[in-house]
Amino acid sequence: MSPFPSSAPSTEEWRHLRLTRDDGVATVTFSRPEKLNALTFGAYADLRDLLAELSRERSVRALVLAGEGRGFCSGGDVDEIIGATLAMDTARLLDFNRMTGQVVRALRECPFPVVAAVHGVAAGAGAVLALAADFRVADPSARFAFLFTRVGLSGGDMGAAYLLPRVVGLGHATRLLMLGDAVRAPEAERIGLISELAEEGKADERAAELARRLADGPALALAQTKALLTAELDMPLAASVELDASTQALLMHGEDYAEFHAAFTEKRPPQWQGR
């Protein structure tokens, strides 16, 4: 995303999400605990626009997605979204579904790593948002459920049919997207759906520690690694190798590459600048 701002000011208050910042680490918390953090139209739009703003600012070096209360996110609110969509015409339905997809694209394309801290339920759109993160740190209570077929819709919602086979393989993805069965933390770890199984009650803490480690690392190198992981999913090997070579040639002109050499020579930890 472009770092060049328009004349529009940065948003001072996000009405449908809670945003906190701590020295390069941003935490976005779904904050409707009484509804298991079910998503509304406003929550989708806020997350889409927030990710765009953070990407342009370049002050955030890692982001944590978390949920308040008993679960991470139970998906789209049955009354406020599913009920409302029954009255929409095709054009409005397409706008809504494109918006949810834009959120997933923003998570995959933002120039900083995203860590999902999952406890309790991550269902429907909540499961896909966790899936779109770069890391998923899960509490033993976590359970993922891709429920779209359970409500009469395609399991391939919000890019799930693209992302999930690439994370857990086609066989597991077919089962999860077609049947909509819940996957609890031990199985999620076994099939590769989670990056780390935390101790009970420690998912938020471990996710914050991982985000801090990432934020303190070489930000530009991490951003380019994320970009290449996404871009090369559909590239032939020859194109991937050429893109890798071009990227490394550019990074070798960077300050962080020179800083590593200086730190190694002086026997001290590198002081990464993200440049």
DSSP string, 224-263: HHHHHHHHGGG--HHHHHHHHHHHHHHHTTSHHHHHHHHH
Residue 269 has what pLDDT?
94
Q: Do the beta carbons of residue 168 and residue 191 sit within 8 Å?
A: yes
The pTM for the full model equals 0.94
pLDDT beyond 70 at 154: yes
> What pLDDT, in 10s, does the model give residues 182-222?
999 999 999 999 999 999 999 999 999 999 999 999 999 99
pLDDT digits (tens, 9 = 90+) for 29-61: 999 999 999 999 999 999 999 999 999 988 999
Please state which of the ranges 30-34, 36-40, 78-82, 99-103 shows the lowest mean pLDDT: 78-82
Return the pLDDT at 2.
60
